[in-house]
Structure 1
Amino acid sequence: MVAFRVLCVLLSALMLLNAQQGNGALTARSQKMIAKVNEDGPYLGLVIPNLYEMNPLLESSNYTATNTIDVAGRRFRFGTIGEKKVILVMTGLSLINAGITTQLLLSLFNVEGVVHYGIAGNANPSLNIGDVTIPQYWAHGALWSWQRYGLGPDDELPLESAGDYTRKIGYLKFANYTVNVTEGSPYDNLLNNVWYQPEEVFPVDGTPEERQHAFWVAVDPYYYEISKQLEDLVLEGCINSTTCLTTTPKVTRVQRGTSASIYLDNAAYRSFIYNKFNVSPVDMESASVALICLQQRKPFIAIRALSDLAGGGSADSNEADTFTSLAATNSVTVVLKFIELLAVNSESSTGYAYY
């Protein structure tokens, strides 16, 4: 009878384990590994979009790897950079992947803060390819309310009175970009206007299901203050002996960056978002990391090296085809120095700003 009961318990455990593996829940082995590494925390989380941005860090002599844990299709790499314990994780392309990965990182592991880095397009005409930008604010630039044809700025948006949508941030009028119009002739566009919208945010220290709104999300003020010391850093200007940039790359702190799950290679839109929002880097992940860290009340900063001009250049092809590797290397150079500076300072920040 005892043997039968033991067999039943074992069968139940196996069925539970199979169910965990089948439905995506953590296995008992994964839970044990996570609990063990968390005892050695906290860690600084490094959230990285793609392998070509992560590989220069993995190959750096400053990074020492220890172990890995695979969860939900993500590989969390543990190690040290100098004296700092770190977790590296690759997100994959787009806001959704970046959001899922950042949420997993913060939900599973003992993380003190997040550093996000990679390459980006450049909307700022005063900056150049190879420069590394550190924005103070990030926004998701592709959450829109698309207005029906015939309505304009004075017309209320659907659900605006309920607080779901707003006209406060501004809009893009497609008719302003109509070409081949003869002088004095009327022109219009059936696409009409799109209005930029803030994200709904549900902070961990707020009331569940009670939303807040955020469009511009500030990086951690203490991290941003430390980043001031990076502006004299020497960066790489050449891919090889024959292919070099015409300007010397620099690290610069800027006001704003924006993200969308859109690869921007269009000069007109590049000019519009720069003039409308004063953004410099444009990418596909940073705003998602910013919003998750805002919701989870974790300090973060995003560092983006400029690989192309987002459609603003004169070349027939996008500059990223040539300068991605150089920009990725420069972003890693800045991140390594930032972590070194962070390691020698013990102060932490809990200040969050958004509007």
Structure 2
Amino acid sequence: MRIGIIGPSEKEIAGFINKITEREQIEHAMLKFYSGIYEKIEVVSVVCGVCKVNASIATQILIDKFEVTHIVMIGVAGALSSQLEVGDIVISNEVAYHDVASGILTEYHPRMEDVYFKADSKLIELSMEAARPLSVTNKIYTGRIITGETFITHKEREYLVQQFDPLCVDMESGSVAHTCYVNNIPFVVIRSMSDNADENSSEQFKINAETVAQNSIKVAEGVIRKLSLSLV
């Protein structure tokens, strides 16, 4: 078993990378990959960069070059559900693009039944268990995450909620899920809310991202610990 951990920016994943033991840094395709051990499990972590293509490149390299068996995407996101507050955690049950026409995926490769990439049920279960201790201070949800390469305005927000009924939105998870889907690699996305996906989202992101990202890191660490125990 080897777990790939992906974060869009250093502030969203550095807290995990710093805990990897026997760490080795390997550069590939202008990206830095950190391989080593966490809780007796082999891990490879990477700062993929913002946007869908960067995330997809990093994911494919994790699969091809590092032969990861599972992928966990962490970081922050903009809340679309009115239930969510800054710091709350969303664990994906499915992921979709909000800026790709549905026919691109259903009528052409990979000819999906619908536009939603399904997260791995076991990883969802472990993520929910790992998140439970955080529920004292923040709410935990499982649901749909959507991805597109823009900060959301109020007008776009209303449309996206009607169209997809999502919990939150980000700029990378869809392409990570897409890449895992075509490679048959189990994945889950764990996102902490940094903003409310509205006109103030860019500023809120800058203020909150580093702090709330620690919640998604803690959940990912819990997932790895539980996977380690399952191997005993």
CA distance in 2, matches of 1:331, 1:50: 13
Post-superposition Cα deviations, 1:242-261, rounded to whole Å, max 9, x if no partner, equal xxxxxx323322x2110012
Q: Is residue 37 of structure 2 the alignment partner of residue 138 of structure 1? A: no
Q: Which has the higher contact order (CA 8 A, sep 6+)?
A: 2
Which consecutive unaligned segments of at least 5 residues does structure 2 have?
none
Q: Match of 1:135, SS?
A: strand
- 1:104, CA displacement in angstroms? 1.4
Pair 1:257-2:145 in alignment? yes
Aligned partners of 2:151 and 2:198 also within 8 Å: no
1:226 pairs with 122, 126, 146, which one? 126
Pick the structure with more strand per residue: 2
TM superposition score normalised by structure 2: 0.90
Paired position in structure 1 for 2:194: 307
Contact 2:127 2:219 in 1 (8 A): no
TM alignment of 1:294-333, pairs within 5 A: 294-311=181-198, 318-333=203-218
> Is the alpha carbon distance of 1:270 and 1:316 closer, same or farther for their aligned partners in structure 2, counting shifts above 3 Å?
closer
CA RMSD in angstroms, aligned pairs only: 2.3
Task: Return the alpha-carbon distance in structure 1 between the equivalents of residues 213 and 227 of structure 2.
Answer: 21
1:338 corresponds in structure 2 to 223
Q: Structure 1 residues 200, 97: closer, same or farther in 2, change over 3 A?
A: farther
| 1:56 Cα deviation after fit | 1.5
Provide TM-score, normalisation by structure 1.
0.60
Work out whether 1:198 is the aligned partner of 2:105.
Answer: yes
Quick check: 1:57 aligned with 2:57?
no
**More helix by proportion, 1 or 2?**
2
Paired residues, number? 231
Provide the secondary structure at the position in 2 that maps to 1:344: helix
Unaligned runs of 5+ in 1: 1-41, 146-164, 166-196, 203-210, 237-247, 347-355
- Per-residue displacement from partner, 1:253-289 (whole Å, max 9, x unpaired)? 2x2110012222x122212212331101200000100
Q: CA deviation at 1:330?
A: 1.3
- 8 Å CA contact 1:76–1:89 kept in 2: the answer is yes
> Does the CA-based 8 Å contact 1:311-1:318 persist in structure 2?
no
Q: 2:4·2:71 contact (CA, 8 Å) conserved in 1?
A: yes
Distance 2:107 2:127 in 1: 29
- Displacement of 1:335 after TM fit? 1.0
Moved over 4 A (4+): 199-202
Judged with a 3 Å threshold, the aligned counterparts in structure 2 of structure 1 residues 261 and 199 are, in CA distance, closer, same or farther, namely farther
- 1 CA distance for matches of 2:78 and 2:186? 24
Is the contact between residue 130 and residue 305 of structure 1 (CA under 8 Å) also seen in structure 2?
A: yes
SS at the partner of 2:128? Answer: helix
